Amino acid sequence: MALVEAIAILAQRAELAEIVGPVGPRLSASELHPTIWGAAAQLWDDGHLRAAVQTAATAFEGLLQHKAGPHVSGENLASLFSGKDPTVGSPRLRIRDVDPASNTWKSAHEGAAALVRGAFLGVRNLVSHPGWPDPNARQALEMLAVLSYIARLVDQSDTLQIP
């Protein structure tokens, strides 16, 4: 009897999947980069989504500064992934395990630089400006996911500096 019920349940699931379509992946906030989610978790749980994103963005900036050095800020943070060589006061981050002679290296670093700039302009600055509407839960989670992905790129990078 239990076998017949199990077969019926599986058949119903298959039929439902055909009607509804694929569910797709699910993102759990606890799987985000620990610096990002660690900064946002309590505020998120208390329902303060905007503040959660703001705090996570500040933590992301701190992660970059920790990697590059406390003297690096502002525009220099946005250029950490620049393909140019480091200069005094402007270190560079280099993503590990990518051939520096490849187009992949160029794409990875130009993309990471654009993502950092985008995270500052399109996430941190927007949620910090009073004229921008409060994000709903989906929007806030997507903003945290942007920060998380870039934070993982930072973790996968080595710092090059001129002493």
pLDDT in tens, 84-96: 999 988 999 999 9
Per-residue pLDDT tens for 29-42? 889 999 999 999 99
Q: What are the residue ranges of helices labelled H in 46-124? A: 49-68, 75-78, 103-119
Return the SS3 of 93: strand
Diameter over CA atoms, the chain: 75
Select from 162, 79, 83 the least CA-distant residue to 116: 79
Q: Which residues contact 86 (CB under 8 A, 6 or more apart)?
A: 92, 160, 161, 162
Residue 125's CB: how many other CB atoms inside 10 A? 12
**Which residue ranges in the chain fall short of pLDDT 50?**
none
Q: What pLDDT does residue 75 have?
A: 77
Q: What pLDDT does residue 72 have?
A: 84
